[in-house]
């Protein structure tokens, strides 16, 4: 296990899955769920998969942490 981010290919996911991840977000800045994100990137850090993008509402970074249930 490493502290380095390992990039993964978000675009390799199927369209329904991508759409779900892009819609189901939590923005700390807006304090609101499911505002959506743009510019998603996917990476693994410490064995956890993250999808990071920008809030469609305010443009601040939003991160979705994938638990095992999401795989």
Binding positions for Zn ion, rule: CB under 5 A? 27, 29-30, 55, 57-58
CB-wise, 31 or 67, nearer to Zn ion?
Answer: 31
CB-wise, 4 or 23, nearer to Zn ion?
Answer: 23
CB-wise, 27 or 42, nearer to Zn ion?
Answer: 27
> Least Å distance between CB 41 and Zn ion?
17
Q: Which pair of tokens denotes residue 34?
A: 């499911």
Distances (CA, A) of 45 to 1, 6, 35, 37: 9, 7, 24, 20
57 close to 30: Cβ distance less than 8 angstroms: yes
């Amino acid at each position: 296990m490493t502290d380095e981010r390992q990039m993964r290919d978000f675009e390799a996911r199927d369209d329904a899955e991508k759409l779900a991840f892009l819609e189901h977000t939590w923005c700390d800045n807006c304090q609101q769920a499911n505002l959506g994100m743009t510019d998603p990137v996917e990476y693994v850090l410490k064995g956890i998969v993250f999808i990071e993008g920008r809030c469609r509402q305010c443009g601040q970074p939003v991160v979705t942490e994938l638990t095992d249930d999401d795989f």
